[in-house]
Structure formats: structure tokens, C-alpha cells
Amino acid sequence: MIKSELKKNMEFYINNYDKTTLDLKTENIVNKDKMFIGNKNKRKCRFCGKEKGETTFKKIAHAIPELVGNKILISFEECDDCNQIFSKLENELANYLSFERSTIGIRGKTGIPIYKNKKGLRIEHDKENKNKFTIQDWDNSGNVIEDITDSSITIKGERNPYIPIAVYKCFVKMALSIMPNCYLPYFWETFDWIREENHSLTENMPLKMFEQFIPGPKPFIDIEMILAIRKCTSKEKSPFGIFLICIGNICYQVYLPFAGPDTDDDGQRENLKFLTLPSKYTLEIPEDDIHSIPKDFSSSERVKGEKTNITYSYDEKVDATKELKNE
Ligand SMILES: [Zn+2]
């Protein structure tokens, strides 16, 4: 993507949207970093509307999944039944992010997952030193490609099989979890949609997602989120609700389907104008490095064997064979 286009997008969002931002610390966490949504003593689930007595609230509900690194934001507004539904969506997100979590180093409940494929590739992060990781591979496997001319190595991997619509719902669920109360009534159909487990409800508009990759050593140490809600004064036909979450090196941007204000008088939803919302680093990085990849997550069919890759550039190369032999 070219920078001038992103600058225009930035202006578009400033003029037409109200933004709520939230950052979550993922490292060096102390007890006072913990944040809570809702009232512990007056429980009501924001997803199904049930109160204590009608449903239970025994489980600790993470407003943002632990698998993307959230250890501090807990919701008192998510009942056990809804939590159970969402945990299935989170499994699909974990499948989708299987390669990224290992290569970028995103710590979940049980640390940074090890990535393995059938062709001998293994990526494992050091338990003591979080910036160190080991890539194991067979010679000439094709998993790891080195480019000496620009001092980089590219690792080719595969995502675990995932259901696209479930992954999308998981991102939308995060947006609804952190959404200020005043906006919730506009999304009552969206709540029904994320809780519908057969994935039979479909929108006219494709479930489009933008993925922005920001190069460099983990630019987003915190989880950074933006919830953008279209201003009531805006005349633009763009989605009412947009959510961006940045983790490690990647920002994922979804729109919130089934929003009331996106429906016209006939109950129809048109194809809305959906633009990349630049992350805070996008406008600072060199022109060639700006990637915003549009993807379609509308399908409820499991996607198998999807290829993906990551490129690391290096400053220096050291022969570590001796070190490895001594181990
Ligand atoms: Zn519920």
C-alpha cells in the first residue's frame, strides 16, 4: 500500500469516527495492572443478557483471549455459558495464529507455543530469555530460505486448520467485550451472531479483514486496540463499528457485522466502504514495507494447509554449530 493512500485513510477515520483506545500490558505485570469490566457484585452477561440466578459466573472470563497475551483484563459481564461458546471461537483463533504465535513470540496461558511441521521444522522460544528462540530444520527441506543479498531468512510454515468465520467472530467478540456501554444497544444482532454456533447467519457484506504487518523486533509489546464507531454526523456509507487489535508485529482489523445503523430502511445492508485503519506505526515505516492484506473470513468451511511465512532480517551471522554440539 502506498503511504499517501494510508494518510487519506487516516483523515477519513479522524473525520468520520469516534475512537476508543485500550492498551494491555503483557510483560512485567504486577497486581495493580489488572483491569475489570463490569461490577463483580452485580453480575449481568452483556452477551446473552442473563443475570446471576438465571446463569452462572463461576469461570474467570478474559475479555481478550489469553492466547494473544492478555493476562490483565477480566470481564465480569461474561457468563459461563457464553464463555463456553467463546472458548470454541478462541480455539479457532489459536489455530489461525499457530504459526505467528511461535514466530513472533506471543505468550499465552502456557507460554509461547512450539511450532512443528511434518517436514521437520521446529521453532521454540527460550524459556529463560524471551528474545531468544531456536529454529530447527533439515538441510534443503525448503522450510527456511536464506537470502544473502539482503541478509534475511524466510521461514515457511502452515496454519493449523481453522474455520474463518469463527476466527472473525472471535475478533468481534473482543470488540464487544471492551465496548463502552453506550454503544451496546446498536449491536444486539451482532451479539446473537457471535453466539450462534452453527455459523448459519450470514451478512450480505463479506467478512473482510485487513492484516497489517509492521516490521521490526516486536513493535507492539503491549496489546493495542482501537474501537472506532462512526459519528452520527458522518454521511459515509462505511461500517458503524470497526475494531483493530495489534499484537507483536501484526494488526488485525475487522468490522462489526449486523450493526443496527448499517441497516437501511428495507432491512438491507449494502456493501460498505471498508478501509484500512493505519496502526500507529504504519505512517512511520518505509514505503516498501507497508503491507495491508485484505482477507475474506466469510466461510464456515474449515481451511486446511494454508501456507504462511515470516521473514527475519539479520545484522550478523555467527556459526553456532560448536555451541550446539556442546549441548
Ligand atoms: Zn451469557
Within a domain: 326: no
Task: Give the pLDDT of residue 298.
Answer: 94
Distance CA 282, CA 259 (A): 28
Q: Using one digit for the tens of pLDDT, what is the confidence trace for 122-170?
A: 999 887 777 788 888 888 888 898 899 988 889 999 999 999 999 999 9
Q: Using one digit for the tens of pLDDT, what is the confidence trace for 182-197?
A: 999 999 999 999 999 9
Q: In which domain, by residue range, is 43 found?
A: 3-96+161-310
Instruction: Find where cell 489488572 sits.
Output: 34
Distance CA 102, CA 211 (A): 18
pLDDT (average), residues 15-29: 95
327 pLDDT above the threshold of 60: no
Burial per residue of 62-85, b for 16 or more beta-carbon CB atoms within 10 angstroms, e otherwise: bbbbebbbbbbbbbbbbbebbbeb
The pTM assigned to this predicted structure is 0.93
Is there a contact between 93 and 170 (Cβ–Cβ < 8 Å)?
Answer: yes
Cell of 204: 450480505
Within a domain: 189: yes
Task: Give the pLDDT of residue 139.
Answer: 83
Mutual orientation of helices 164-178 and 188-195 as an angle, nearest 10°? 140
Residue 295 CA, ligand 1 centroid: distance in Å: 30
Residue 220 CA, ligand 1 centroid: distance in Å: 31
Least confident of 66-70, 209-213, 255-259, 319-323: 319-323
How many structural domains comprise the chain? 1
- Smallest CA-to-CA distance from 102 within 90, 89, 111, 93 is with 111
| Total residues belonging to the chain | 327
Q: Using one digit for the tens of pLDDT, what is the confidence trace for 283-300?
A: 888 877 778 899 999 999
Within a domain: 127: no
CB atoms within 10 A of CB 37: 17
Residue 106 CA, ligand 1 centroid: distance in Å: 28
| Percentage of residues in the chain having pLDDT higher than 90 | 65
Distance CA 93, CA 95 (A): 5
Cell of 201: 447467519
Residue 101 CA, ligand 1 centroid: distance in Å: 29
Residues whose Cβ atom is located within 5 A of ion ligand 1? 45, 47-48, 79, 82
Is there a contact between 190 and 280 (Cβ–Cβ < 8 Å)?
Answer: no
CB atoms within 10 A of CB 113: 20
281 pLDDT above the threshold of 60: yes
Name the more confident of 17 and 260: 17
Task: Give the pLDDT of residue 201.
Answer: 83
Residue 164 CA, ligand 1 centroid: distance in Å: 23
Mutual orientation of helices 80-96 and 188-195 as an angle, nearest 10°? 70
pLDDT (average), residues 38-55: 96
Is there a contact between 69 and 108 (Cβ–Cβ < 8 Å)?
Answer: yes
Within a domain: 130: no
For residue 73, the cross-strand partners are: 35
pLDDT (average), residues 48-69: 96
324 pLDDT above the threshold of 80: no
Residue 44 CA, ligand 1 centroid: distance in Å: 8
For the chain, percent helix, then strand, then coil, each to nearest 5?
25, 25, 45
Within a domain: 61: yes
Residue 79 CA, ligand 1 centroid: distance in Å: 4
Within a domain: 102: no
Rounded to 5°, angle at Cα 264 from 261 and 270: 95
Is there a contact between 97 and 106 (Cβ–Cβ < 8 Å)?
Answer: yes
Residue 81 CA, ligand 1 centroid: distance in Å: 6
Residue 223 CA, ligand 1 centroid: distance in Å: 25
Residue 54 CA, ligand 1 centroid: distance in Å: 10
Residue 55 CA, ligand 1 centroid: distance in Å: 7
48 Cβ contact list (under 8 Å, min separation 6): 55, 79, 81, 82, 191, 195
Say what the alpha-carbon torsion angle 320, 321, 325, 327 is, to the nearest 10 degrees: 20
Q: Using one digit for the tens of pLDDT, what is the confidence trace for 303-319?
A: 999 999 988 888 888 88
Residue 121 CA, ligand 1 centroid: distance in Å: 41
Residue 199 CA, ligand 1 centroid: distance in Å: 18
Task: Give the pLDDT of residue 305.
Answer: 92
Residue 162 CA, ligand 1 centroid: distance in Å: 24
Residue 290 CA, ligand 1 centroid: distance in Å: 40
Within a domain: 114: no
Residue 66 CA, ligand 1 centroid: distance in Å: 19
Residue 265 CA, ligand 1 centroid: distance in Å: 30
Cell of 106: 506471543
Task: Give the pLDDT of residue 282.
Answer: 83
Within a domain: 205: yes
Residue 173 CA, ligand 1 centroid: distance in Å: 12
